[in-house]
Amino acid sequence: MTVTPAAPVTPPAVDVSAPGILEDRYDQDGFVILRDVLSRAKLDALLAETARICRGELGEIDGAVASAPDETDDEVIRRFLCIHYPHKLSSLMLDTMRHPAIVGPLTRIIGPNVKAMQSMLFVKAEGKPGQAWHQDEMFIPTRDRSLTAAWIALDDATVENGCLWVLPGSHRDGVIYPNREHDDPRYDCTVESYDFPWTDDDAVPVELTAGSVLLFNGYLLHKSLPNTGRHGYRRALANHYMSAESLLPWALPYEGQSMAQADFRDVLLVAGRDPYAYKGVEQLRRPRIRPDRDGGCDR
């Protein structure tokens, strides 16, 4: 008799009201799922906002081709794979970054003082590629390993349409694994993590219903596959957070500063207090598209 191994399934969501469960699961696995965080009305508003952003109605997006008035939303939206920093264009996206049902669990994982530094709006129409294995801390280096992503499904995310896959527990050693160039056409970014002690057989898909959220650690190895659905998008908003106590030596060089002092201040406090508030904040990044196959899983 041939035994077909069971397909890996998405782990259950956590009951955020139960003390300790969220923290324990996050420590153990490097991720937790929060079910049904955003209402249908909120999702519809975010999807309509996505169309307006793609049409350039909320401000310029570096690298984007301008839309023509006679183009449908669908024609415009499907040109985009990912837009970086949508929270700088849209107050709705900004509010979602500060959503209490996301920030509350983040304070339990990160600590009372939390800042955000980045957002990415993935559109990913059918046929669009995924992102190869990577660790977000490779791109956004916190000093205390507090980097945490909130990946918010705006559509149902399924294996077919290119949901995330994770390697549970791969954050625990706190190791940044080596990176190399690859030419696998399934992926947009041309760099991938490799030489880690897990295989694709250990990977777990994270299928999410629209409005649910995956919180995951910056050291967690994760990837996504192409959208192989017959039609439709796999839209998701990925926001990144860290402890406000940690400096953020991102995007060096900083004029006249050592690495030890470098601190990227294009940040937004979402909980508690910012011990570096005396430095003020700066607008260093502009909304832009993720250029196709631009090398790394660029931030």
Ligand X SMILES: O=C(O)CCC(=O)C(=O)O
Using CB under 6 A, list all residues that contact ligand X: 122, 130-131, 136, 149, 151, 164, 222, 224, 236, 238
Q: Kindly tell me which of 118 and 246 has the beta carbon lying closer to ligand X.
A: 118
Q: Kindly tell me which of 54 and 276 has the beta carbon lying closer to ligand X.
A: 54
Q: Kindly tell me which of 13 and 214 has the beta carbon lying closer to ligand X.
A: 214
Beta strands in the chain (DSSP E): 31-34, 82-84, 114-122, 148-153, 164-166, 179-181, 191-193, 204-206, 213-217, 222-224, 236-243, 268-271, 288-289
Q: Kindly tell me which of 64 and 164 has the beta carbon lying closer to ligand X.
A: 164
First to last CA, the chain: 49
Q: Shortest CA distance to 144 belongs to which of 116, 173, 174?
A: 174
The minimum distance between CB 139 and ligand X, in angstroms, equals 8
Chain position whose Cβ is nearest to ligand X: 224
Q: Kindly tell me which of 129 and 249 has the beta carbon lying closer to ligand X.
A: 129
The minimum distance between CB 272 and ligand X, in angstroms, equals 24
Q: Kindly tell me which of 128 and 265 has the beta carbon lying closer to ligand X.
A: 128
What are the angstrom distances between the C-alpha of 35 and each of 153, 155, 164, 211, 292? 10, 13, 16, 7, 32
Q: Kindly tell me which of 153 and 276 has the beta carbon lying closer to ligand X.
A: 153
Report DSSP state, residue 221: -
The minimum distance between CB 2 and ligand X, in angstroms, equals 33
The minimum distance between CB 277 and ligand X, in angstroms, equals 28
Q: Which contacts (CB < 8 Å, 24+ apart) does range 247-255 have?
A: 247/143, 247/276, 248/117, 248/140, 248/141, 248/142, 248/143, 249/141, 249/143, 250/117, 250/140, 250/141, 251/284
The minimum distance between CB 185 and ligand X, in angstroms, equals 15
The minimum distance between CB 68 and ligand X, in angstroms, equals 28
Instruction: Name the CA radius of gyration of the chain, rounded.
Output: 19
Q: Measured between alpha carbons, how far is 107 from 10 in angstroms, rounded to an integer?
A: 24
The minimum distance between CB 132 and ligand X, in angstroms, equals 9
